[in-house]
Amino acid sequence: MTKNMFNLSKKLTSLPAYLFLEIDKAKRKAKQEGRDIIDLGIGDPDQPTPRDVIDTLYQAAQEPANHRYALDQGMPVLRQEIAGWYKNRFSIDLDPEREILPLIGSKEGIAHFPLAFIDQGDYSLVPDPCYPPYKGGTILSGGKPYLMPLVESNSFLPDLKEVPADVLKKAKLLFINYPNNPTGATAEKGFFSEVVEFARKNKIIVVSDLAYSEMAYDGYRPPSFLEVEGARDVGIEFHSLSKTYNMTGWRIGWASGNAELVSALAKVKSNIDSGIFSAIQLAGVSAIKIPQEEIKNMCSLYQRRRDVLVSGLNSLGWKVQSPKATFYLWIRVPDNTDSIKFAQLILNKSDIVVTPGVGFGRYGEGYIRMALTVSEERIEEAIGRLKKIF
């Protein structure tokens, strides 16, 4: 077959290379060379999925009834369990029939959601730096991401007043993500109230990514966007079992909020997939029922790792802040070095994988992200290696 025989779509060619695939290539190459790699790059929990969840999957997978197409809108028992979780965690009452939609991981729901509302040339208001599917989903829908800088001087919150009027006229979606990936920043209800008022005034849909709400430290409890008055009139919120229950590979999450928005996403998905494997849905029910004490233990584990890493990096003179949530450190690169070159330096000189901030957007330049996904012993070893080169 002739090389370059096929012409890729303009939408596909306009997508940037997916950052984590590039990092994984570099990591695999280093391992093939026999190097002992400490991976602080991709945020993938190193702890096992809880035993009860695995046992539920095992039992459910043996039932022939679970081998058929799943209901697109998710099993009633899962939607009811999600509604109960929201009620217990945030005192929010959701209708499990109309306001909750299970997903094959929150990533696919976030990426597919723009297909329901974005037409050619419409804008999504996207924070920068950000989780890449906010941009990717917009581009694949024919829209344009308008980048809202997240800068340290504004506590990594977008300045909504800075969005130009001509952009607002064509803006359909506003993405927010707190606790934030990659910066680890948090937002309080006052900010969410501003977002609701902004959305109402400009007739914009709010897309809240709440994937890290249960990864918090020092007694902090992140709020949900849906807790704020009027939020359900303008928004939809995405959550995931991936980080809270060490289930990244299981691919299960959900969308909740405004019934019209949830229904629109369900219509998109009915034309793309056939639902989540029923046995995994039942495993998700088991996960949500796990006692809160186990979640606290998970947070304590990451908090100890956070403290070791922050202390160690500060001993290098890096002036790193301790995040109140997520399992990421967002670290300013010393001496204004290019973030990709700095990440390459760390990998080449100390066999440590970190994520260059520019991979999350232009305003991520000047930072690197480190994930707390290795043991305290390996974190201490990483600090020891870094001390040899800095």
Give dist(CA 330, CA 359) in Å, integer.
Answer: 13
**Can you identify the CATH homologous superfamily of domain 10-48+293-389?**
Aspartate Aminotransferase, domain 1 (3.90.1150.10)
Which two structure tokens, joined as six digits, stand for 2? Answer: 């002739």
CA 66 → CA 49, 94, 276, 346, distances in Å? 21, 26, 10, 47
Tell me the CATH architecture of domain 51-288: 3-Layer(aba) Sandwich (3.40)
Query: DSSP readout, 186-197?
Result: ---HHHHHHHHH
Q: Please say whether the beta carbons of 212 and 244 come within 8 A.
A: no
One-letter amino acid identity for 15? Answer: L
Which one, of 282, 277, 283, lies nearest residue 245 by Cα?
A: 283
- Which range has the worst mean pLDDT, 24-33, 156-165, 200-209, 229-238? 24-33
Encode pLDDT of 42-82 as tens digits: 889 999 999 999 999 999 999 999 999 998 899 999 999 99
Ramachandran angles phi, psi of 323, nearest 5°: -70, 150
pLDDT of residue 293: 95
Which pTM value belongs to this model? 0.95
Strands (DSSP E) contained in 69-115 are 100-103
Instruction: Kindly report, as residue ranges, where domains of CATH 3.40.640.10 are found in the chain.
Output: 51-288
27: confidence class by pLDDT, cuts 50, 70, 90:
confident
Q: Please say whether the beta carbons of 276 and 102 come within 8 A.
A: yes
**CA angle (228, 231, 235) in 5-degree steps:** 145
Judged against a pLDDT cut of 60, whether residue 2 lies above it is answered with no
Compute the Cα dihedral for 182, 17, 128, 332 and give only its sign: positive
Instruction: Kindly report, as residue ranges, where domains of CATH 3.90.1150.10 are found in the chain.
Output: 10-48+293-389
